[in-house]
Structure 1
Amino acid sequence: MKQVFIEEKTFDKIDFTQNHLSKGEYEYCNFVNCNFSHADLSDIKFLECEFLGCNLSLVNLDRTALKEIKFKDCKMLGLNFGDCSEFGFVVDFDTCILNHSSFSDITSPMKQRVRLKQTVFKNSQLHEVDFTECDLSSSVFDNCDLTRTIFERTILEKADFRNSFNYSLDPELNRIKKAKFSQSGIAGLLDKYDIEIDMTD
């Protein structure tokens, strides 16, 4: 099958559930208010692209390359980022809904830990997202809802949780050296002990 190469193009309000995105490489492209729901994006390369106001729920990301990609105002339910190509994987999220997505790849013993160093999650909802065995060193969770999000054997060194909420993580199961937490968020580090913390003093 012929591979396309597309550069500096804006795709506006396209329904990719009906018009499939061609396999190939997309550089410096913008996808604006597009519908990718359940679409097959496997083996496609995206380089320095932006997705703005798109629905990417349940897309197939097998071997998809996401290199310096920005997602803003996107709906991204049930995605498995662990299936993406590891090479050059860099993503940022602003005002996105990532519920039930996974950045973990524990099913494949041959792949390395998913690297999310310095990733920014801003104003986003991450309910029940799986970060098992990810490297989130120096990442920032800015005003994010982390309800029932899974952190297990995760590297969280120098990660910043100060402005986020509803998180629960076990310091004994994760590496949290020099991670930053707010006083109100400390309770999320002690959930397993089933104790009550009085923050009024």
Structure 2
Amino acid sequence: MDKLILRDQKIAADRFTGEKIEHASFINCDFSAADLTDTQFIDVQFYHRDSQLGCNFSRATLRDASFKNCDLSMSNFSNANLLGIEIRDSMLQGADFRGASFMNIIAPKVWFCSAYITKCNLSYANFANVVLEKCELWENRWLGTQVMGAKFSGSDLSGGEFSAFDWRTLDITHCDLTRSSLGELDVRYVDLEGVKLDSDQAAALMERLGILVVS
């Protein structure tokens, strides 16, 4: 079967709903408002290196969709429904998640989030004001990721690589940060209530305050 390659196309709303797409390439394609519920993408390219363009998923429905070993760099997920999304071992550099929802709202003030974004490169992605509470976000690279106003409370951020990352601008209370490289995290300016750290991390943070931790 020939490899699926689409360029500069507007994707019809139900074209790939619930499908399994493997080893395909989408070049500057517009998935905006498409229904991709339960759709699986495996080894798919959504980023075109020559043009440096990603694909547009704005306002799309991606409930329980999955991306494995995909290149989603520079893709636009703004205002998309991403409840239950799974993105693993993928590239997401510069991806825009502003306005995206990972929430299931049951009633006013009653809701939960669901997302599995693991072993991904999130460098320079934009999660400003995004709510990703109690989600699996482990072993990601967070270089220069924009997180102003984001809420990650209770999420698993273990094994992450954080650099050029402004910890002061988001809520990380009750997060698991064990095995993570914490960059410039300063305990004087970040609310660490309920945060899980390993002993080496705690000692390093105390040393920045001039406190020597001995065993």
Shorter-chain TM-score above 0.5: yes
Q: Which residue number corresponds to residue 93 of structure 1? A: 117
* 8 A contact 1:168–1:189 mirrored in 2: no
Residue from 142, 159, 168 that aligns with 1:143:
159
> Where in structure 1 are there 5+ consecutive unaligned residues?
106-113
TM-superposed deviation, 1:175: 2.4
* 8 A contact 1:170–1:190 mirrored in 2: no
Q: Which residue number corresponds to residue 116 of structure 1? A: 132
Task: Evaluate the alpha carbon distance shift between residue 87 and residue 179 of structure 1 in structure 2; reply closer, same or farther with a 3 A threshold.
Answer: closer
Q: 1:91 is aligned with what amino acid?
A: A
Mean Cα deviation higher: 24-33 or 51-60 = 24-33
TM-superposed deviation, 1:36: 1.3
Distance 2:204 2:213 in 1: 13
Residue from 28, 32, 49 that aligns with 2:38:
28
Q: Which residue number corresponds to residue 71 of structure 1? A: 87
Task: Evaluate the alpha carbon distance shift between residue 189 and residue 154 of structure 1 in structure 2; reply closer, same or farther with a 3 A threshold.
Answer: farther
Task: Evaluate the alpha carbon distance shift between residue 86 and residue 164 of structure 1 in structure 2; reply closer, same or farther with a 3 A threshold.
Answer: closer
Task: Evaluate the alpha carbon distance shift between residue 94 and residue 86 of structure 1 in structure 2; reply closer, same or farther with a 3 A threshold.
Answer: closer
How many residues get paired? Answer: 191
Structure-to-structure mapping, 1:11-22, within 5 angstroms? 11-17=21-27, 20-21=30-31
TM-superposed deviation, 1:117: 0.7
Q: CA RMSD in A?
A: 2.6
Q: Secondary structure at the match of 2:141?
A: coil
What TM-score do you get using the length of structure 2 for normalisation?
0.76
Q: Which residue number corresponds to residue 202 of structure 2? A: 186
Distance 2:19 2:60 in 1: 16
Task: Evaluate the alpha carbon distance shift between residue 82 and residue 173 of structure 1 in structure 2; reply closer, same or farther with a 3 A threshold.
Answer: farther
* 8 A contact 2:103–2:114 mirrored in 1: no
What TM-score do you get using the length of structure 1 for normalisation?
0.81
Q: Secondary structure at the match of 2:98?
A: helix
* 8 A contact 1:168–1:188 mirrored in 2: no
TM-superposed deviation, 1:3: 3.2
Distance 1:68 1:188 in 2: 35
Distance 2:191 2:98 in 1: 20
Residue from 37, 47, 70 that aligns with 1:54:
70
Task: Evaluate the alpha carbon distance shift between residue 46 and residue 189 of structure 1 in structure 2; reply closer, same or farther with a 3 A threshold.
Answer: same
> Where in structure 2 are there 5+ consecutive unaligned residues?
1-9, 48-53, 105-112
Mean Cα deviation higher: 15-24 or 50-59 = 15-24
* 8 A contact 1:82–1:104 mirrored in 2: yes
Task: Evaluate the alpha carbon distance shift between residue 157 and residue 76 of structure 1 in structure 2; reply closer, same or farther with a 3 A threshold.
Answer: same
Distance 1:188 1:17 in 2: 45
